Structure 1
Amino acid sequence: MSDIIRRDPRAEWIARNRLHPLHAALQPVQGSWMGPQGVIRKNPHVGAFIGPNGVKRIDRSGAQQGGSSKRGAAPQVQLPLHRIAEPAFYISVVPDMVGGRLSSHDRDVLGLAHRLAGSDGAVLAIVFGEHKESAFDTAGVDRLLILDGSEFDGYAPEQRVQGLRAVDSQLRPRHWLLPDSRTGGGELGRRFAASLGERPATRVWQIKDQQCIGRAGAGLQDLARDLPRLILAAAECAEPVDETRHEALAVELSTRAARSLPRIEDLGAVAVDPAAIPMAEAEFIFSGGNGVKDWDLFHRTAAALGATEGASRVAVDDGFMGRDRQVGASGTWVTARVYVAVGISGAIQHLQGIGACDKVIAINLDAGCDMIKRADLSVIGESAAILQALIAAMAAYRNPATRDAA
C-alpha cells in the first residue's frame, strides 16, 4: 500500500468552519502537553473507541482509528444518506457543467431545488453529454439523467431544448431550475420557456412562501411574483447541500428526444487574448504577489498557461502590475474557475476577493500562510523553479512528438 498521505479538502474545510455541525467532531485531540514543572504529560484517552458491547476502550496502537494516528492524515467524514425511494414529484435542475464539472452556481441551484423538493420530492439533474463530475451525491442529486449524443455537443441550444421537452413530457417535473448565468443556463432557460409558452422568473435570489424574488432595474430593485414552474436562479440563491449524501440514481427516458435540423452551426471556440478579458469575467487567473522575484518569468508562465494575469495589492503598489489587475476587496472581486496564487500570503482583503473562486491553487514557500490554508491544492517551494517546471510541462504537452515519446 502506498505511504503517500492524501488530503481530504472537505474535511479540512469543515474543521475550519466553526458554524458547521460537524466542526467539533473534526477537531484534533491534544495528545501531549508540557506541565507546569516542564514534564511532558500524555492524554490517556487519545485513541479511545466504543467497543461492540458499548464500553469505551483505549487503543494505544491507533488501529481502531483506521490509521488516524498517522501524522497529517485527515479524518474521513461519512455524511448521512438521504434516500427517496418513490418520489412524489421531481424538481429538475439543468446545471451549466462548465468544463464538465459542477460550478459553485450549479451547487447553489441544487441547494435551492432541495428547498422546493422537501421530504417527498426528488432533485433530478439533467446533464448533456460526457462529464467529469464525481460528486453528484454530495452536491444533492437524487436522480441523474444524462442525455448523450453528438447532437448535444458544442453550442446546440435548439437540440438541448428538444431534449428538455422530452424530459418534461415524460417525467412532468413540478419545477424547472436553471442557473441564470452567461455560461449557457440563462439563454437555454429562456429558449426552453419560450418553447413551453411559459413566463419564467429570472435572476431569482430568494424563494419564500410560494413567492420568488428576483433582481430587476439593473440589479437595484427586487421584483416579487408567484412561484412559476420555470425558475432561472442567480448565484447564491441558496446554501449548497453539504450535510447529506444522495443516491444520484441513474434515470433513463423511454423515448429519445426528437431531432430537428439545427439552424445554428457551431464553428468552435474563438481565440481570445487573456489580457483582454476583464478580471471579473476571467475563468483562469494567474496571480502574483510579493513572493514573485522574477516577473518576466511570471509573465512567460501566464502566457504559456493561457491565463489572465492578476496581482495582490502589494505587487500593484510596488509597480509590477497595473491597478486594473489588483485582486481583492480593495480591487476586483473575481469568480474564476481556477485561481493560481504565486507568492501571495493571503491577506484578508485578498481572500475576500477570491471567495467565489471554485478552485484555488497556492504556490508559496510558507506552508503556514493563510493562502495555503484557503487553497484546494498547495505547492510548497521556490516559485521560480516551479514556474520553470510549468513552462516545460506545457511545452511538452503541446509538442505531440515529445508527448508521444514520453
Structure 2
Amino acid sequence: MSDIIRRDPRAEWIARNRLHPLHAAMQPLQHSWMGPNGVIRKNVHGVGFIGPNGIKRIDRSGAQQGGAAKRTAAIEVQLPLHQVPAPAFYINVVPDMVGGRLSSHDRDLLGLARQLAGNDGAVLAVVFGEHKESAFATAGVDRLLVLDGREFDGYSPEQRVQGLRAVDNQFNPRHWLLPDSRSGGGELGRRFAASLKERPATRVWQIKGDECIGRAGAGREDLARPLPRLILAAAECADPVSDTRHEVLPVELSTSLARSLPRIEDLGAVAVDPAAIPMAEAEFIFSGGNGVKDWALFHQTAAALGATEGASRVAVDDGFMARDRQVGASGTWVTARVYVAVGISGAIQHLQGIGACDKVVAINLDPGCDMIKRADLSVIGESAAILQALIAAVEAYRNGAKRDAA
C-alpha cells in the first residue's frame, strides 16, 4: 500500500454542494466557537444524537457540552506525534499563562505560531515562573523554556524584557509572538519592541504570506502591513492546534541572567471584591438555584470561599439574585476554572452556559439530576448542612495556616 494521500474529487464536490443530501456529513463538526467579542457561541443544531427510532435526542447529562467529552470518551484518541529534531528556525511565543495555565488566547497564538513554523521550524514557548499547565504537547509546543526565579515573580516587566533579550540572542527566532491582551502580553510586547528598537505589528488577527492584517480605528478598520519580526496578536488570530501532539523538549539558556535594579516596586496583589468581578471573567463561581433555602448562609459561604456569586434563572426570577448574576444561555456564558452549583437541577440552558468551565462541583439532594451527571465532583445531601461544614473546613484550614506561619 502506498503512503500517498489521494484526493477524493467526489467528496470535495459534495462538501461544496449545499443541496446534496450528504453535504452535512462532509462538514467538520463544530459545536462551539468564540465570537469576536469573546463570548462563546453554541451551535444548538449540532447538539444531540440520533436515537434508534431516527428521532434526534438531546443529551441533558452534559456529555454533548463543550469540554465534557473527556469524561465520557471510552477510547482516548492518540494524536500523531510531530517531531522537529533539528529546527531550521524558531518561532518564539510568550503566552500570558493566566493562573499558570494556557488561556484560549494563548492557544490561538500557538496555533498561529504553528502555521508560521511549518514543517521545518519549531515553536518555542517562553514561560516565566512556575506553571500548572500539562497540555503543552497538544497545544503545539515543540520546545519549552521556563525562566524561573524570584526576579520574575509578581510584576517585573524590566526583568522579563531582559530575559527575552537573552533568549533572542541565543535562539535568534524568525518571529516573536505575544498576545495583545490586558493580562500582560500587550505591555510586555511593547516594552520588548522598544528594547529591540523594532516596530511591532499590533492587534493582528490574520496573516497572509508576507503580510499581516491588524485591527485599527477602535476595531472598525483593518490595517495591512508587511509581516514584521515582532507580532502582537489578538484573540482568534488562528485556530488552535487540534490534530497533532508535540515533543515539548525542555531547553535552557546558555548564559545566566543578571538581576537588574527595578525602577518599579511590586507591592503585591490588591484585594478585589469578588462581587465586582464580571461573571464572564470570574475564575471561581459559587452559584445557587431553587434548592437553596437559606440565602444568608449561601452568601456567607461565598464570602468565606472568596468566590463570585452566580445564580440560575429560577433564583433570579424569584428575586434572590440580581439579573446580571444569571448563568446560562439566557444569561451569561461563563468560563470559570471552578464552578460550584448549589441546588441547581441543570436545565439545558444552564448546562450550555457552563459548558466551557474546567471543573464543576454539584451540591444537590437529587442524585439523578442533570447537574450531577455533568459535574466532576458531586455531593449528595442537604445544602444547608453541607455549606455549614464547608465554612467550618475553610476556617480550620486558614487557622492552621496562620499557626504554621507563626
Provide TM-score, normalisation by structure 2.
0.74
Q: Do the aligned partners of 2:109 and 2:178 also contact (CA within 8 Å) in 1?
A: yes
Change (3 A) 1:165 1:301: same
Matched, 1:264 2:264: yes
Equivalent-residue separation in structure 2 for 1:91 and 1:358 (angstroms): 30
Which runs of structure 2 are paired with 1:246-261 in the superposition (5 Å)? Answer: 246-261=246-261
**Range moving further from structure 2, 210-219 or 123-132:** 210-219
SS in 1 for 2:361: strand
Which runs of structure 2 are paired with 1:167-182 in the superposition (5 Å)? Answer: 167-182=167-182
Change (3 A) 1:114 1:330: same
Equivalent-residue separation in structure 2 for 1:137 and 1:182 (angstroms): 26
Q: Do the aligned partners of 2:335 and 2:358 also contact (CA within 8 Å) in 1?
A: no
Deviation sequence 1:135-164 (CA, Å, 0-9, x none): 222222110111122111111010000000
Cα RMSD, aligned residues only: 3.0
Q: Hey, what does 2:296 align to over in structure 1?
A: 296
Change (3 A) 1:400 1:155: same
Deviation sequence 1:357-404 (CA, Å, 0-9, x none): 5523130545665555655x2315236144334323212221117987
Q: Hey, what does 2:135 align to over in structure 1?
A: 135
Instruction: Please report how far the alpha carbon of residue 231 of structure 1 lies from its aligned counterpart in structure 2 after TM superposition.
Output: 1.8
Q: Hey, what does 1:37 align to over in structure 2?
A: none
Instruction: Please report how far the alpha carbon of residue 100 of structure 1 lies from its aligned counterpart in structure 2 after TM superposition.
Output: 1.9
Which runs of structure 2 are paired with 1:3-402 in the superposition (5 Å)? Answer: 19=29, 74-355=74-355, 357-365=356-364, 371=371, 375=375, 377-382=376-381, 384=383, 385-400=385-400
Change (3 A) 1:97 1:289: same
Aligned partner letter, 1:206: Q
SS in 1 for 2:300: helix
Equivalent-residue separation in structure 1 for 2:143 and 2:99 (angstroms): 21
Change (3 A) 1:173 1:285: same
Change (3 A) 1:337 1:73: closer
**Range moving further from structure 2, 204-213 or 190-199:** 204-213
Equivalent-residue separation in structure 2 for 1:367 and 1:228 (angstroms): 57
Aligned partner letter, 1:381: I
Q: Hey, what does 1:58 align to over in structure 2?
A: none
Aligned partner letter, 1:359: D
Change (3 A) 1:329 1:213: farther
Aligned partner letter, 2:273: D
Change (3 A) 1:269 1:401: closer
Q: Do the aligned partners of 1:292 and 1:383 also contact (CA within 8 Å) in 2?
A: no
Change (3 A) 1:306 1:265: same
Aligned partner letter, 1:171: F
Change (3 A) 1:229 1:336: farther
Equivalent-residue separation in structure 2 for 1:225 and 1:265 (angstroms): 37
Q: Hey, what does 2:4 align to over in structure 1?
A: none
Provide TM-score, normalisation by structure 1.
0.74
In structure 1, runs of 5+ residues without a counterpart are 1-17, 21-32, 34-71
Q: Do the aligned partners of 2:367 and 2:380 also contact (CA within 8 Å) in 1?
A: no
Q: Do the aligned partners of 2:124 and 2:145 also contact (CA within 8 Å) in 1?
A: yes
Q: Using CA pairs under 8 Å that are at least 6 residues apart, name the structure with larger relative contact order, 1 or 2.
A: 2
